[in-house]
Amino acid sequence: MRQLLLGLIFTAAAVPAWACQLSLEGPAKQGGMLIGSVPAGSKVSIDGRSIRVAPDGRFVVGFGRDAKAKTKVVALTPEGRTLACPVMVAKRQYQVQRIDGLPKRQVTPDPVAIARIKKDNAAIGRVRKLDTASTDFAVPFIWPVKGRISGIFGSQRILNGKPRRPHNGVDIAAPQGTPIVAPAPGVVALVHPDMFYTGKSVMLDHGHGLSSVYVHMSEISVKHGQRVGKGDEIGKVGKTGRATGPHLHWGVSLFATHLDPMLLTGKMPK
Ligand SMILES: [Zn+2]
């Protein structure tokens, strides 16, 4: 599913202003993630903000739901050469999704619930600040569960008639107890038995700021700090937290920027 955006390395002198001088693979669209590669020892910045580069020169770039149309990736090689890559980020259209019949306290939480939500969000926020050296982000992702896709990334949500934040992941409907596997290798960075919105929740750290979240689980089968391989079971599908039926909500973020998991995996296999 990763198309080659522009993998050619041009020599600096012959490069037109629009050309990409480094390797960037992946969908350059809102919600998409690119894996970059530059000569080992290079420094990389995105729109002037420097980011972590692996010793072998790999790095990750992500575009949020409402990412602006243009981004510039710049690398400075150890020999002092500057390699630039202007990226045009394709705009997407998002659905409006209405969900009715949710308990009132889950749509308009009371003060006690709000305090709990703040604590939950702080724990999630701490994971989304991690910037570890792991390069698990570069491993192609698989689907953590197979099933019917019941909610897609970016949808504007109207819950019980009230506009709420856009949906920041993908929902996969599957029977209660269906095993959930790690879609890529990672380290378990959060295990929570009962968050207000998300119930039994797990987060994985894939390095360089890329994390993923698995929620509404009926069971959790991993421990904080544990390393998991791609395909290892991390828990089971459930409907804990704010859920109308058993499903996995799967989210992927680059730091605090939500990405579209479907752009990492491609179509759901039959
Ligand atoms: Zn969801």
**Residue ranges of the domains in the chain?**
12-88, 96-265
Task: Return left, alpha or beta for 267; rule: phi > 0 is left, psi -120 to 50 is alpha, else beta.
Answer: beta
Nearest to 214 by CA among 255, 175, 252: 252
pLDDT of residue 7: 44
Question: What's the CA-to-centroid distance between 19 and ligand 1, angstroms?
Answer: 38
Q: What is the predicted pLDDT for the residue at 98? A: 87
Q: CA-to-CA distance for 199 and 201, rounded, in angstroms?
A: 6
Residues with Cβ within 8 Å of residue 112, at least 6 apart in sequence: none
Q: Is 50 helix (H, G, I), strand (E, B) or coil?
A: strand
Ligand 1: centre distance to CA 34 (Å): 23
Contacts of 71 (CB under 8 A, 6+ apart): 46, 47, 61, 63, 86, 87, 89
Please choose, from the candidates 209, 250, 205, 241, the residue with its C-alpha nearest in 3D space to the C-alpha of residue 224: 205
Provide the pairing of β-strand 156-159 with 96-99: parallel
Distance 214 CA to ligand 1 centre (A): 10
Superfamily per CATH, domain 12-88: Immunoglobulins (2.60.40.10)
pLDDT of residue 14: 52
Ligand 1 center to residue 53 CA distance, Å? 31
> Which whole number is the average pLDDT over 65-90?
96
Is residue 230 very low, low, confident or very high in pLDDT (cuts 50, 70, 90)?
A: very high
- Ligand 1 center to 169 CA (angstroms): 6
- Please tell me the distance between residue 243's alpha carbon and the centre of ligand 1 in angstroms: 8
pLDDT at 6: 44
Tell me which of 78 and 157 has the higher pLDDT: 78
180 or 15, higher pLDDT: 180
Residue 97: φ, ψ to 5°: -120, 125
Quote the ligand 1 centre to 77 CA distance (angstroms): 41
Per DSSP, 137 falls in state G
237: nearest Cα among 148, 168, 163: 148
If one compares 103 and 39, the residue with the highest pLDDT of the two is 39
Report how far ligand 1's centroid is from the alpha carbon of 216 (Å): 9
**CA 175 – ligand 1 centroid, Å:** 16
**d(C-alpha 142, C-alpha 79), whole Å:** 38
CA nearest neighbour of 254 among 23, 43, 35, 20:
35
Residue 49 alpha carbon to ligand 1 centre in Å:
31
Q: Per CATH, is 96-265 categorized as 3.40.50.720?
A: no
Q: Contact 241/215 with Cβ under 8 angstroms? A: yes
Distance 155 CA to ligand 1 centre (A): 10
165 pLDDT band, cuts 50/70/90, is confident
Residue 159 CA to ligand 1 center (angstroms) comes to 12
Sheet holding 233-236, edge to edge: 179-181, 233-236, 219-220
The gap between the terminal CA atoms of the chain, to the nearest Å, is 16
pTM to 2 decimals?
0.90
Above 90 in pLDDT, residue 162? no
